[in-house]
Structure 1
């Protein structure tokens, strides 16, 4: 991470420079790519301004904060930068097309080749634990699986709770 600290209309302070560099370097935990950071610390009468610009893969993330104390200005501007970095990463995740996963592309070809030769069935044994539907929803949300097989505590029947493509949940119950 390349960090540049500039002082305007104030005496350069090594303590402020180290503090600003330390705060900016904490953003590194969110980013895997090289980041260029420019920090401008300036003083006008009683106003202390901290202006931070990050350049991440050509994207410019910028924030400014003005307070009566330089350290609090640095803290507040880094809170803003952190929120913007998280929002930027969320946008990148949302834009990624679902069909672009390399594992799924290969599976489609293998499945069609296997269907041509013979039908292959994978057998997996699961223990259907007794639980309420609400508890099953909570268990499915906590896990990264697409479905959950459980025994309904009220009816003692085996149910399947699954995650739909739109993100909502579906429940399969046997007909009585």
Structure 2
């Protein structure tokens, strides 16, 4: 698994990096077939008083790319909400992969007899 954590108008401190890694453990625990993860943390300065912290994740799994973004006044809160969204999308993707919506041939013969 390739992991890239980068910052835009922001220095990614070791504390931020560690926080993102601990939050990503929850996602990789649910779904271990992750190929690539790109995390982008940024600060948007809209006005002097109003600063928006933005976190984005692009998760590349086999056959699909999952993109999630979230903005908040606090960067740690933005990361928390982002990981909640990402966790829901990963679980939904995993359910779609595992649920094939068909009956096995051996069960089909038993029901028609």
- Whether TM-score is above 0.5 comes out as yes
Alignment of structure 1 residues 66-77 onto 2, 5 Å:
66-77=71-82
Structure 1 partner of 2:100: 95
Unaligned runs of 5+ in 2: 46-50
1:63 to 68, 72, 78: 68
Provide, for residues 102-142 of structure 1, a one-character-per-residue CA deviation record: whole Å limited to 9, x for no partner.
xx48xx7xxxxxxxxxxxxxxxxxxxxxxxxxxxxxxxxxx
The 1:67–1:18 alpha-carbon spacing in structure 2 relative to 1, beyond 3 Å, is same
Structure 2 partner of 1:79: 84
Bigger relative CO (Cα 8 Å, ≥ 6 apart): 2
Aligned residues between the structures: 104
Unaligned runs of 5+ in 1: 109-163, 165-176
Secondary structure of 1:95's counterpart equals coil
* Contact persistence 1:3–1:38 (CA under 8 A): yes
Structure 2 partner of 1:41: 41
Q: Which aligned runs of 4 or more in structure 1 are off by greater than 3 angstroms? A: none
The TM-score, its normalising length taken from structure 1, stands at 0.54
The 1:64–1:89 alpha-carbon spacing in structure 2 relative to 1, beyond 3 Å, is same
The TM-score, its normalising length taken from structure 2, stands at 0.81
Measure how far apart 1:32 and its partner are: 3.2
Measure how far apart 1:96 and its partner are: 5.2
* Contact persistence 2:34–2:59 (CA under 8 A): no
- C-alpha separation between the residues in 2 aligned to 1:34 and 1:88? 12
* Contact persistence 2:26–2:87 (CA under 8 A): no
Taking only aligned residues, the RMSD between alpha carbons, in angstroms, comes to 2.1
- C-alpha separation between the residues in 1 aligned to 2:63 and 2:93? 12
